[in-house]
């Protein structure tokens, strides 16, 4: 076998390897896409089950336990979001939950009128002084 034949054979082998690598990469991408679709469907199924739970239609004890855990997690998330808003001197819109300044009378996202915030009163720790005559 001549030198040029070996170079040609090596080049053909490299082209074949590259084609195989591209095909494997494409198939791996297809696998990830299918897995993402499955996970999206599972999430939708879970949301449907949770909605049924909230309507009192779930009877299976295991599903009820899972739904109660989800409900507790929702409560925890809301509490954490409230604390974040409080630290930032913000509030959430009563309708769409958008972040607003504490004194905004309307939501700048959905337009909902916000409840008025009572001004904070400073409490003094000093006893009032008696009038001196």
Quote the pTM value: 0.59
pLDDT confidence band for 133 (50 / 70 / 90): very low
Please provide the average confidence, as pLDDT, over all residues in the chain: 87
- In tens, the pLDDT along 74-115 reads 999 999 999 999 999 999 999 999 999 999 999 999 999 999
**DSSP-assigned states of every residue in 45-94:** HHHHHHHHHHTT----HHHHHHHHHHHHHHHHHHHHHHHHHHHTTEEE-T
Domain map (residue ranges) of the chain? 1-58, 60-115
């Amino acid at each position: 076998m001549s030198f040029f034949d070996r170079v040609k054979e090596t080049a053909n082998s490299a082209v074949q390897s590259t084609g195989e690598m591209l095909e494997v990469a494409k198939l791996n991408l297809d696998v990830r896409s299918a897995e993402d679709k499955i996970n999206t469907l599972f999430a939708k199924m879970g949301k449907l089950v949770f909605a049924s739970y909230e309507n009192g239609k779930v009877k299976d004890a295991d599903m009820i336990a899972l739904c109660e855990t989800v409900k507790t997690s929702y409560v925890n998330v809301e509490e954490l979001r409230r604390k974040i808003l409080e630290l930032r001197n913000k509030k959430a819109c009563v309708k769409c939950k958008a972040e607003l300044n504490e004194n905004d009378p309307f939501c700048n996202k959905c337009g909902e009128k916000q409840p008025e915030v009572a001004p904070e009163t400073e409490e003094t720790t000093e006893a009032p002084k008696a009038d001196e005559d």
